Chains A and B, each alone.
Chain A
Amino acid sequence: MALYSDKVMDHFRNPRNVGVIEDANGIGEVGNAKCGDIMKMYLKIEDDVVQDVKFETFGCGSAIASSSMATELIKGKPVSEVKQLTNQAVAEALDGLPAYKMHCSVLAEEAIQAALEDYQKRTGKTV
């Protein structure tokens, strides 16, 4: 059995929404270099909808795949829905992660929540 599912490998090899949004209005960064994983999410929210999302990740294969999948799950979605995103949803969408890699999906969830908080702080809007 391979370490990762085909879906994880696909998102790792061809990560979606990689990069930076220069005029992002919500940015979240979680993790630390000491543990070997950092995720940074850039959101562009307009009319309470995530119009665009990009990410940068320092981390292992599942960290990159989790970031990529998370951006796909929230792109074009209303903020109210994005707020409900869980790490389980990310992991399930990837056809599962090895048990000791589940924290990668947690990081993805946390990075998005941090970006939403940043958006609230910047705009004064409640999400």
Chain B
Amino acid sequence: MIYADNAATTKMSQTAIDTMVSVMQEDWGNPSSLYTRGQSAKEVLEDARAKVAGVIGAEPREILFTSGGSEADNQAILSAAALGRKAGKMHIISSAFEHHAVLHTLEKLRKEGFDITLMDVHENGLVVPSEVEAAIRDDTCLVTIMYANNEIGTIQPIREIGAICRRKNVLFHTDAVQAITHVPVNVVDDNIDMLSSSAHKFHGPKGVGFLYARKGIRLSNLIEGGAQESGKRAGTENVPGIAAMAAALVEAYAAMPANAAHLTKMRDRLIEGLAQIPHSALNGDAVQRLPGNVNFCFEGIEGESLLLLLDDKGIQASSGSACTSGSLDPSHVLLAIGRVHDVAHGSLRLSLGEDITEEQVDEMIRSVKEVVEYLRGFSPIWRDLMSGKKEFIL
């Protein structure tokens, strides 16, 4: 069995599980309570906050715990929009291939009167800083660009974009859900004002994440109620989840240099192997890319059938085909980098875990080759392509 869908979620690390269980057993008090049991839970919470802050170069009070990346994205964007509205600035810049947690929030704001500019991500899946600079206007209140794309793994020039935003005095948010623990992220060096992250992408539990907001940025509440999280996020804190997230983050961050080196090697081997399949193409830049991300389009086949047959061979992966999303359109990410519908339906994402071996990579190459060849064998499109009735795109 090869689990190659780590961009969807990761298996919890033993450290995270142990931490979670220990907090549930020992520190189960309410952090808002005054007595000792409550205060020990509070200590666990604040210790986790300090750890998370330490990893990304922030101050503990700049970390707000949330239910995950989507909530953090929503809160960051809606907070910047509220500040913008107050100042009469109602223009937001983002990119065409953001996560839906960002895109759908921006769509909501568009309906409320905001003007949204989505930057082109070009064929290689990269935002160009000078184009962001040119798009910034006097009424721009926020630039939100993801750190690394969740489907094609391209790493954006965050530091440069952040520097431009600083200079232009515009708030800069980044959805770093896919980047944290895979590339060194530092909110100070990278000129980041707000950042979203999610624990289950780095071997922590599901349902917990955090928002970094530079001190001085006034956040709006998504959830009203008690005074938890400095009054910015009501509800009794998910203490076991938060502690497990912090433990997973510290562990994964320490292992990052070794993991990244290994994953990059495995990734490039996999890319090289899959590129040998005729009429295929790597999606996204080959270099500015997450260490474990491989994403290909194969002409003449459809992604869901590819996934199901790979699953039969013990390989778990994902695809940007329409059939895997329940909509008629293939992935907006693949369309944003200029893949036409015909080939976007035939996409495959393999996101590797740190324990991947060379043998497993070779097995994946063999299996994908077999399945693609098999499906092409009775694909009417492939027949038309091979007979010259239709022209190859890839």
Contact = CB atoms under 8 A, between A and B. Distances in A.
B378 A33 contact: no
A69 B304 CA distance: 19
Interface size class of B (residues with CB under 8 A): 20 to 34
Contacts of B345: 33, 36
Nearest to A99: B326
Contacts of A62: 323
A69 B290 CA distance: 42
B378 A56 contact: yes
A8 B309 CA distance: 13
A57 B378 contact: yes
Contacts of B308: 9, 12, 61
B381 A58 contact: yes
Interface residues of A, number: 28
Interface string A51-85: 00001111111111000000000000000000000
Given A18-B378, A33-B381, A36-B323, A58 B300 contact: yes
Given A35-B322, A64-B305, A57 B380 contact: yes
Contacts of B300: 58
B341 A33 contact: yes
B137 interface: no
A58 B382 contact: yes
**Among B321, B324, B330, B342: residue with most chain A CB under 10 A:** B342
Contacts of A19: 378
A36 B323 CA distance: 8
A58 B301 contact: yes
A43 to B, nearest CB: 15
A118 interface: no
Nearest to A104: B323
B309 to A, nearest CB: 8
Nearest to B383: A56
A59 B342 CA distance: 11
Contacts of A101: 323
A34 B341 contact: yes
Nearest to B330: A36
Contacts of A60: 302-305, 321, 323-324
A18 B342 CA distance: 22
Contacts of A36: 302, 321-323, 328, 330, 341, 345
A20 B383 CA distance: 10
Nearest to B319: A60
Contact of A59 (B309, B323, B328): B323
A59 B379 CA distance: 8
Contacts of B112: none
A100 B341 CA distance: 19
Contact of A61 (B304, B379, B380): B304
Contacts of A56: 378-380, 383
B40 to A, nearest CB: 42
A62 B323 CA distance: 9
Interface of A: 9, 12-13, 15, 18-20, 29, 33-40, 55-64, 100-101
Task: Enumerate the 10 nearest inter-chain pairs by beta-carbon distance, A residue then B residue, closest first.
Answer: A60-B323, A60-B304, A33-B342, A36-B345, A40-B380, A34-B341, A58-B379, A56-B380, A58-B381, A18-B378
Given A29-B380, A61-B308, 7 more contacts: A33-B345, A34-B342, A37-B302, A57-B378, A57-B380, A62-B323, A101-B323
28 contacts: A13-B309, A13-B312, A29-B380, A33-B341, A33-B345, A35-B341, A36-B321, A36-B328, A36-B341, A38-B379, A39-B380, A56-B378, A56-B380, A56-B383, A58-B300, A58-B381, A58-B382, A59-B302, A59-B323, A60-B302, A60-B304, A60-B305, A63-B302, A63-B305, A63-B323, A64-B305, A100-B326, A101-B323
